[in-house]
Amino acid sequence: MTDQRSVFDIRPMRRDEWEDVAELIHESTNAWYVANGKKPIFNGPPSDAMLFCEVYEALDPGHCLVAESSSDHRIAASCFYHPRPTHLSLGIMNVHPDFFGQGLAGALLSRIIEFAKARELPVRLVSSAQNLDSFSLYTRKGFVPFLSFQDLYIEIPENGPDFAPSDQPFIEEASMKDLAEMVELERELSGIERSKDYAYFIANELGIWRTLTYRDEDSRLLGFLSSVNHPGSRMIGPGVARTEEIAIALLAKQLDGFRGRCPVFLLPVTASHAVRTAYSWGAKNCEIHFAQCLGRYQPPKGVVFPTFMPETG
């Protein structure tokens, strides 16, 4: 059997390879969904997927591994990863259909696990329950599922949703003065810390992010929720809320910002009231995901909104 290390060079992505990696993300993601009887995730050109390189490299420069074929120098696979003080999030992983079944996903994952172990960080991810190959890959490596999510989507009319509250005195646009409390709240409810992510969202240099906070009458922070609105990703999250009622209020306000669009959001299966409320708004299921962890994790409290831009783990 040929040693794959003699066939593929696994190394960090270079800046001049962003277009190749974006095309890989676009093609391999759509190929998997179409092959499994679903609609393509990306409806626009491959350049839409450049968002992943732009955002991930802005947050974590040099933290994308690629597998380059030594025979024709094609980028056969890629995987982003995001070290944080409390954990390492495994980002989007893609293998080109031409290279399926050659062990590249496992090879990339092993390198990233080694990186995390050297820093004594647990590795977290949110993986599709429908992609049994990837689910098996992670569980074989020792990842443990600890929370399930319903993926929901909803078409928002051009004139706005009829369910969005007209008056939400406790919800405001987040600013940098909220950052420390946001980090503290997420650490309490989810056991993870990622201040650089929220600082990046609030700064919003790309003009595609929105972050909302929910405070009570005593100005205590009880929840927050971010979103991204870009052709490469229209998704609500990440965020946390102490109660389902707060999560529902934040979600409704975020959805109002997607007029004429069709955003996706993930809700824990245990948040039954929030899920039923979303159904009453017209939301539909499109997938199921599992939060998984290799190493220690804290069972989440309240309502947790994961996302894939960037990966939250």
- At 80-92, the pLDDT tens digits run 999 999 999 999 9
Residue 65, amino acid: L
Distance CA 265, CA 152 (A): 5
Sign of CA dihedral 234, 172, 276, 193: positive
Q: What is the mean pLDDT of residues 140-167?
A: 90
Q: Are 306 and 197 in contact (CB under 8 A)?
A: no
| Residue from 96, 93, 97, 114 nearest 105 by CA | 93
Rounded to two decimals, the pTM is 0.94
CA angle 181, 182, 183 (to 5 degrees): 90
pLDDT of residue 313: 66
Cβ count within 10 A of residue 242? 19
Look over the chain and give the mean of its residue pLDDT values, rounded to a whole number.
94
Band of residue 37 on the pLDDT scale cut at 50, 70, 90? confident
* Interval 43-76: pLDDT, tens: 999 999 999 999 999 999 999 999 999 888 999 9
Q: Which residues of 257-287 are buried (b: 16+ CB within 10 A; e: fewer)?
A: bbeeeebbbbbbeebeebbebbeebebeeeb
If you search the block for the tokens 């890629």, which residue do you land on?
78
Position 253, amino acid:
K
Nearest to 312 by CA among 81, 110, 121, 105: 81
Backbone φ, ψ for residue 42 (5° rounding): -95, 120
Tokens for 151? 């993926």
| Chain centre distance of CA 307 | 3
pLDDT value at residue 304: 97
pLDDT in tens, 90-145: 999 999 999 988 999 999 999 999 999 999 999 999 999 989 989 999 999 999 99
- What is the per-residue pLDDT for 165? 65
The strand ranges marked E within 50-99 are 64-69, 75-83, 88-95
Task: Find where tokens 């172990």 sit.
Answer: 117
Indicate if the pLDDT at residue 166 is higher than 90: no
Q: Is the bond leading into 97 cis (omega within 30 degrees of zero)? A: no
Beta carbons of 170 and 224 less than 8 angstroms apart = no
